């Protein structure tokens, strides 16, 4: 579903050049949940933005559903690290935003939006405006907007980082339910090892300067997963060990 082929990217400032991504290649199959896990600044968001069609790679190509990515497309939605809500629109109207170009009646659009709002636990807040909500609640609105669009591919950049543990766990479960129902393909960026093990079919561990895929790790545990089992702890430990082997110092800083 997603093919990343030999993608490299540098940013230039005056005479200096900063190579952020170096020759990254991987694939995500239809219906898979794959996580990019790595240190702050290793190029996760840059890579996601290239896959979403918002940034151009210096070399290499990305294909989504066998079409070369040259710009953002409706079937591949990016949920950005910083929620992008329109302050003058209510929660419901923000969620409806992504549906406005679709061939839906006003009533259908409303129902789709309200269903997604309910999934993220904000039914009572549907008519409020972003400034009336906490940061975590605003993030849930952005998540609802992505869910409401039912895209084939969702690219998520640390979608749950601003949430408290209970909401994070709840939304992780909602994500798994929606993904199972819609058979969506999900590429997720996170710092959180626990979240990566809970959600992912595969984890791509990135090393930094320049960003590369250091390890492609399959999480062979059936879902739904139990965070308290030995198998779950085995994978957490395995990832911590991989960070050490990759030369990335202090893996604990990736745990939130
Ligand atoms: N538009 C830009 N112009 C110049 N440098 C950039 C730009 N975007 C990102 N960078 C640089 O590229 C590197 C990777 O940034 P990126 O945002 O991809 O990291 P990240 O892995 O997502 O980090 P975090 O976990 O903190 O979100 C950083 O050194 C950053 O300063
Ligand atoms: Mg980032």
Q: Which residues surround ligand 2, an ion (CB under 5 A)?
A: 45
Q: For residue 225, what are the contacts with CB-CB under 8 A and spacing of at least 6?
A: 197, 198, 232
Does the residue 21 lie in any domain? yes
pLDDT at 247: 63
What is 142-193 written as a DSSP string?
HHHHHHHT--SEEEEESTTTTS-HHHHHHHHHHHHHHHHHHT-EEEEEES-H
Does the residue 143 lie in any domain? yes
Does the residue 142 lie in any domain? yes
pLDDT at 171: 86
What's the structural domain count of the chain?
Answer: 1
Does the residue 236 lie in any domain? no
What range does the domain containing 82 cover? 2-185+198-210
Is the Cβ atom of 24 under 6 angstroms away from ligand 1?
A: no
Q: With a cut of 80, say whether residue 42 has pLDDT above it.
A: yes
CA of residue 68 to ligand 2 center, whole Å: 23
Give the CATH number of the domain where residue 117 resides.
3.40.50.300
Does the residue 245 lie in any domain? no
pLDDT at 80: 84
Does the residue 144 lie in any domain? yes
Does the residue 228 lie in any domain? no
- For the CA of 46, the nearest atom of ligand 1: 18
**Tens of pLDDT, residues 2-39:** 999 999 999 988 878 889 999 999 999 999 999 999 88
CA 218/CA 78 separation, integer angstroms: 24
Does the residue 256 lie in any domain? no
Is the Cβ atom of 145 under 6 angstroms away from ligand 1?
A: no
Q: With a cut of 70, say whether residue 170 has pLDDT above it.
A: yes
């Amino acid at each position: 579903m997603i093919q990343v082929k030999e993608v490299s990217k540098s940013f230039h400032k005056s005479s200096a050049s900063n190579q952020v991504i170096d020759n990254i290649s991987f694939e995500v199959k239809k219906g898979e949940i794959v996580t990019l896990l790595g240190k702050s600044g290793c190029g996760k968001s840059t890579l996601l933005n290239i896959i979403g069609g918002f940034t151009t790679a210096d070399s290499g190509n990305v294909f989504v559903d066998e079409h070369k990515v040259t710009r953002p497309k409706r079937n591949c939605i990016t949920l950005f690290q910083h929620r992008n809500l329109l302050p003058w629109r209510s929660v419901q109207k923000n969620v409806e935003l992504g549906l406005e170009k679709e061939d839906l009646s006003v009533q259908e659009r409303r129902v789709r939006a309200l269903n997604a709002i309910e999934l993220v636990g904000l039914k009572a807040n549907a008519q409020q405006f972003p400034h009336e909500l906490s940061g975590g609640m605003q993030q849930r609105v952005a998540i609802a907007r992505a869910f409401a669009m039912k895209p084939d591919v969702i690219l998520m950049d640390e979608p749950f980082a601003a949430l408290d543990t209970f909401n994070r766990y709840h939304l992780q479960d909602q994500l798994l339910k929606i993904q199972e129902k819609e058979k969506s393909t999900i590429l997720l960026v996170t710092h959180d090892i626990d979240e990566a093990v809970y959600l992912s079919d595969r984890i791509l561990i990135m090393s930094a300067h320049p960003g590369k895929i250091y390890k492609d790790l399959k999480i062979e545990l059936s879902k739904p997963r139990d965070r308290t089992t030995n198998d779950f702890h085995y994978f957490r430990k395995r990832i911590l060990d991989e960070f050490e082997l990759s030369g990335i110092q202090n893996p604990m800083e990736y745990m939130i």
